[in-house]
Chains A and B, each alone.
Chain A
Amino acid sequence: MSIPALHPLPRPEGEVEQLREVWRPPGGVRFLTVVNNTYIGIFYIGTALLFFLLAGVLALAMRTQLAIAENDFLSQDAYNQFFTMHGTIMMFLFAVPAVEAMGVYLLPAMLGARDLPFPRLSAYAFWAYFVGGLLFFCSLFFDLAPRGGWFMYPPLTMKEYSPGIAADFWLLGIGFIEISAIAGAVEIIVGVLRTRAPGMSLDKLPIYAWAMLVFAFLIMLAFPAIIVGTALLELQRAFGWPFFDAARGGDPLLWQHLFWFFGHPEVYIIFLPAAGFVSMILPTMCGVPLAAYRLVVIALLATGFAALGVWVHHMFATGIPALSISFFSAASMAVAVPSGIQVFAWIATLARGRVRITVPTLFVLGFLFIFVLGGLTGVMVGLVPFDWQVHDTFFVVAHFHYVLIGGMVFPLFGAFYYWAPTASLRPLSERLGRWVFWLLFLGFNVAFFPMHVTGLLGMPRRVWTYSADMGWEPLNLLSTAGAYGMGVAVAVFLVDLARNFRPFHDKGGAGDVWSAGTLEWIENSTYGVRSIPVVDSRDPLWAHPDLADCTEAGAYFLPGTATGTRETLVTSPLDGRPEYVVQLPGPSWKPFVAAIATALAFYSLTLEMVLPAFALGALTIAAILAWVWDSDRGPARPPVDVGGGHVVPTYAAGRLSHAWWGVAVLVVVVAMLFAALFFSYLYLRLVSPDVWPAATGHALPAPAWPIATAALLLASGAAIAWAGRALARRRPGRFGWDQPALVLALAALVGAFAVELVGQRSTGLVPQHTSYAAVVYALIGLQGALVFALTVMGLYTLARSLTGRLGPVRRVTFDNTRLLWSWAVVQGLVMTALLHGAPRILD
């Protein structure tokens, strides 16, 4: 039974041509300004693969060094740089960007959207990552690569023990690349929740989209901790603020808490999207829907939830309380339950259907085999006595490669083979694909299985060589042979890509070669699907075999362009009801320039070139302001009929607006940055009460200071609320009180920050002296950064108002600024209460 057309067919002449014209990617050198997700997504995946190759070459060099005892292929110093860069690049520049890139590429098609909700933000995130990542890699060629291991523990990474700027490359480079991961998370959360095909209520959401939703939530909640961690360590290295220096009341373990609060969820940030691939590939290859859809959704959510709570199990060997170790050992076992649910759902799907053994199926089966083994060794190292025994040996190296390569790389290769036909006119080769799979599978097991034994024999990780009489040589030689097998597999894959991968064609790709059931298999051009289909089941193409043809004929929503610009349909988060048509921005140099300038600004800072860094920072801000100046265009025209009698507006402000949701995600990110510093303050207070005012006799600012700060913050909050009400009442062309109210709000906000800063400085508090002083100024600094951002946004809003670009209807700019503003007021109040209340209540 087919879904009836929403308007008369055939559609008028020229409609699809207009659609194609509006979405046409720019040619020539302006190709760099492209923002379509189908292009940015593929650039992004390609760049992630490039880093996979680069880090893989480093791994092969290390395996060559370890192949025989007392080898001198790499020096100790080079080996240290190689393992640090290998881990760092694989985690931060390959794994996370690769799964995020797949989301950027796949999600709009799978959800029936024409693009992601913030296309220029994707372009910005991609270029920042591309330039920043390559510059980071180049540090190797100048002997400037970090040597502290991928988790960069202090005290080893403190200035005293890691002099020079190599560690700063890591701290600034990685801290900055997280920003592009967070930009991607904003896209994915808003995209999945707000830009779905009508009728695709949450219970019909493809499992992959669920996985990406949880993935993006984890990035939003966990990445701020590592940003704070890297910022604190950089402040210590550059300016001597002693957060991690025990001699001045700091604590190296604070780094580990911040790092692993991010680092444990990171494992799931990598694994959940890969599990999502598996949950899409298996049903297609078995010809049946995924077993236990609801349980799998619950398992994804539970995994995400639990991932945030068990970071402590990475710290069993650091001397944390014995009682906590038992609790977290048990909690870590519990994390196996949701993963187990997914594994059983996959096995049940395999059992219910008739399995077609294709290359994607092989990769999925390889994943199941390797990941289950990695999960079992995970349960082993979750047991404390065993963990102590194998800690920092090759057993752990084997364990996490089974989890990461099994859990992420195998599904990713499966996904490449599975989804290549949506992007490329020719599918990848089944014949070469089988070679890739078997070489990778055998190579992997030959390389990493022996490492379990090498580790049990006592070989520590991160040593550049070993003596022949340890008896580790045969096993290491075997591992090296396996690693080269994996290298050959990747080379064959590249040959396959070169011979068959032909992206960026107007027609999209080869089409639904696997007879799959989800929307991304409908012909997908630069504009996405021709019309946005109505969805009434989890596998729409299986439920309605003619859905693809009807969609291509333009039978459903928005068959042409309603506003004459790029656009997509915004739907309600739970039910997927059409709410409004959002006009999307097109290609532009501005995000490109902003991205390059951001990357260069961070690396100028690393090289201690302060003036260029500030100039580039200013250029970044200018480019971003210029880029957003074109957005918030107001209603292009009166409400339009998008099909089926749904007449929806072409503009929305307030909570209905997709942009408001984007800012809401940003607020959560800022709140998590603040939470990480809030935790650091109290943690340092508990660890080092002797540097707190009660013990040192250092006077706190008199109560008048915090009272003034709080009063100014409250005044700022009241003024911004007043501005919002005044804006709603303003008549076109007339004076409105919103402008003076905004200026007042800004003055009060800046004033509150200044009072707090001056109040603390008036007591003679110097950040270099104690961890107390350092963390006080770090909190004020975060507030200062937020106040700076709001000053720019406030002045920008004022400029929009003065140029007639803001009014009672066209007010997204104001609403977004106000949302972040409200958070700044709340954060300021909590901070003031903490800085002035905690030393008085706790001592």
Chain B
Amino acid sequence: MTPPLLPYCGAPPAPADWLAAWNLDPVLIAVWSGVGLACAASPALRARDAAGRRTRAAFAAGWSIALVAWISPLCALGVALFGVRVAQHMLLALVAAPLLAVGLPARAPGARHALAAGLAFAVATWLWHVPGPYEATFRSSALYWCMHATLLASAVATWRVLLARDAGVAAPSLLALASCFQMSLLGALLTFAPAPLFAPHLATTAAWGLSPLEDQQLGGLALWVPGCAVFLLAGVAPVARWIATRERIAASTAL
């Protein structure tokens, strides 16, 4: 006997009332506030200089975006639409994660760290968008949070490499390229699948004017196109930054 569908985010909302479907889970808000406070105690976030202010602002923004992704109607809408669920994941992995990564204590990540982070992020991305594990998160709140925790943590670890000032050029650029590639591969497979794969959405998409297949294609494309675009920028930036630094040094020694 498989347990019944009891999604953490509740029943799929109707198009008329989805905007009211907020998820004000007190445990979530308490835990996430605790995480925020614990991180806020770190020296990087308490520095009084301009860099400290920037770091604080980034961390606060990342923290808030993650909270919004979880408590806003995106949570409920993701029960109805696969595309929205993927968009929620992308919001966490591609927007909240880099901002949070800026706020974490700085430590130069090495090549091993880059490899481990990239691998963890790839495994998390693939695992949670495969029909079986994906459906399981609809039956168990613990698995739902396991999914979000692993996706967000591996994404933050990845972004710490991509955004590190002293990680050199090779590790971040190659990590960005590899992450773009694995997300494209998964996105392409979901986009070109000729039949719907995700049972929880079979009956819930019609209310939104989409067939389950179109909904699935939107999800695949959300993984593929924005994912790659963000990683493209992240992959090119370290090279640009490195050249700019060398140009600055050259200019200052020429004077």
CB proximity of B238 to chain A, nearest CB, Å: 10
Q: Determine whether the beta carbon of B247 is less than 8 Å from that of A294.
A: yes
Interface-located stretch among B22-30, B51-59, B142-150, B213-221: B213-221
CB proximity of A129 to chain B, nearest CB, Å: 28
CB proximity of A218 to chain B, nearest CB, Å: 11
Interface string of B157-176 (1 = CB under 8 A from A): 00000000000111001000
Say yes or no: is A819 at the interface (Cβ < 8 Å to chain B). no
Say yes or no: is B14 at the interface (Cβ < 8 Å to chain A). no
Distance, CA A203 to CA B242, complexed state (A): 8
Distance, CA A841 to CA B134, complexed state (A): 11
Total cross-chain contacts (CB, 8 A):
98
Contacts of A297 in B (CB 8 A): 239-240, 243
Distance, CA A331 to CA B195, complexed state (A): 25
Distance, CA A331 to CA B180, complexed state (A): 14
On chain A, the number of residues with a Cβ less than 8 Å from chain B's Cβ atoms is: 36
Say yes or no: is B188 at the interface (Cβ < 8 Å to chain A). yes
CB proximity of A214 to chain B, nearest CB, Å: 11
Q: Determine whether the beta carbon of A675 is less than 8 Å from that of B132.
A: no
Distance, CA A644 to CA B225, complexed state (A): 51
CB-based nearest B residue for A330: B225
Contacts of B170 in A (CB 8 A): 573
Say yes or no: is A689 at the interface (Cβ < 8 Å to chain B). yes
Interface-located stretch among B64-72, B96-104, B228-236: B228-236
Q: Determine whether the beta carbon of A842 is less than 8 Å from that of B132.
A: yes
Chain B interface mostly helix, strand, loop or mixed?
Answer: helix
Contacts A203-B243, A675-B185; A324 near B235 (Cβ below 8 A): no
Say yes or no: is A574 at the interface (Cβ < 8 Å to chain B). yes
Distance, CA A201 to CA B168, complexed state (A): 13
Which of B181, B189, B236 contacts A298 (CB under 8 A)?
B236
Contacts of B189 in A (CB 8 A): 679, 682-683, 686
Q: Determine whether the beta carbon of A301 is less than 8 Å from that of B236.
A: yes
Q: Determine whether the beta carbon of B242 is less than 8 Å from that of A305.
A: no
Say yes or no: is B244 at the interface (Cβ < 8 Å to chain A). yes
Say yes or no: is B112 at the interface (Cβ < 8 Å to chain A). no
Contacts of A679 in B (CB 8 A): 185, 188-189
Q: Determine whether the beta carbon of A298 is less than 8 Å from that of B240.
A: yes
Distance, CA A574 to CA B167, complexed state (A): 12
Interface string of B241-255 (1 = CB under 8 A from A): 011101100100000
Q: Determine whether the beta carbon of B191 is less than 8 Å from that of A302.
A: no
Distance, CA A302 to CA B228, complexed state (A): 11
Contacts of B242 in A (CB 8 A): 202-203, 574
Say yes or no: is B194 at the interface (Cβ < 8 Å to chain A). yes
Contacts of B192 in A (CB 8 A): 253, 257, 320-321, 324, 683, 686-687
Q: Which residues of chain A from 302 to 326 have a CB within 8 Å of any chain B CB?
A: 302, 305-306, 308-309, 312, 320-321, 323-324
Contacts of A574 in B (CB 8 A): 168-169, 242
Distance, CA A221 to CA B22, complexed state (A): 45
Say yes or no: is B154 at the interface (Cβ < 8 Å to chain A). no
Distance, CA A320 to CA B224, complexed state (A): 15
Q: Determine whether the beta carbon of A321 is less than 8 Å from that of B243.
A: no
CB-based nearest A residue for B214: A323
In this complex, which of B235, B246, B247 has the most chain A Cβ atoms within 10 angstroms of its Cβ? B246
Contacts of B110 in A (CB 8 A): none
Contacts A202-B242, A294-B243; A321 near B191 (Cβ below 8 A): yes
Contacts of A331 in B (CB 8 A): 225, 229
Q: Determine whether the beta carbon of B246 is less than 8 Å from that of A203.
A: yes
Q: Determine whether the beta carbon of B244 is less than 8 Å from that of A294.
A: yes
Contacts of A323 in B (CB 8 A): 191, 214, 217-218, 221
Distance, CA A732 to CA B52, complexed state (A): 57
Contacts of B106 in A (CB 8 A): none
Say yes or no: is B35 at the interface (Cβ < 8 Å to chain A). no
Q: Determine whether the beta carbon of B191 is less than 8 Å from that of A324.
A: yes
Say yes or no: is B177 at the interface (Cβ < 8 Å to chain A). yes
Contacts of A321 in B (CB 8 A): 191-192, 213-214, 217
Say yes or no: is B11 at the interface (Cβ < 8 Å to chain A). no
Contacts of B228 in A (CB 8 A): 309
Contacts of B130 in A (CB 8 A): 841-842
Distance, CA A320 to CA B232, complexed state (A): 25
Which of B180, B217, B232, B240 contacts A324 (CB under 8 A)?
B217
Interface string of B191-202 (1 = CB under 8 A from A): 111110100000
CB proximity of A822 to chain B, nearest CB, Å: 12
Contacts of B188 in A (CB 8 A): 257, 312, 679
- 7 interchain residue pairs of minimum CB distance: A686-B193, A203-B246, A203-B243, A305-B232, A323-B217, A321-B217, A327-B221
- Given A298-B239, A302-B232, 4 new contacts (CB under 8 A): A293-B243, A321-B214, A573-B170, A687-B193
Cross-chain pairs A/B with CB under 8 angstroms, 13 sampled: A293-B243, A298-B236, A308-B181, A308-B184, A309-B184, A321-B191, A323-B218, A328-B225, A574-B169, A675-B181, A682-B189, A687-B192, A687-B194
- Name A's B-contacting residues (CB within 8 A): 201-203, 253, 257, 293-294, 297-298, 301-302, 305-306, 308-309, 312, 320-321, 323-324, 327-328, 331, 334, 573-574, 675, 678-679, 682-683, 686-687, 689, 841-842
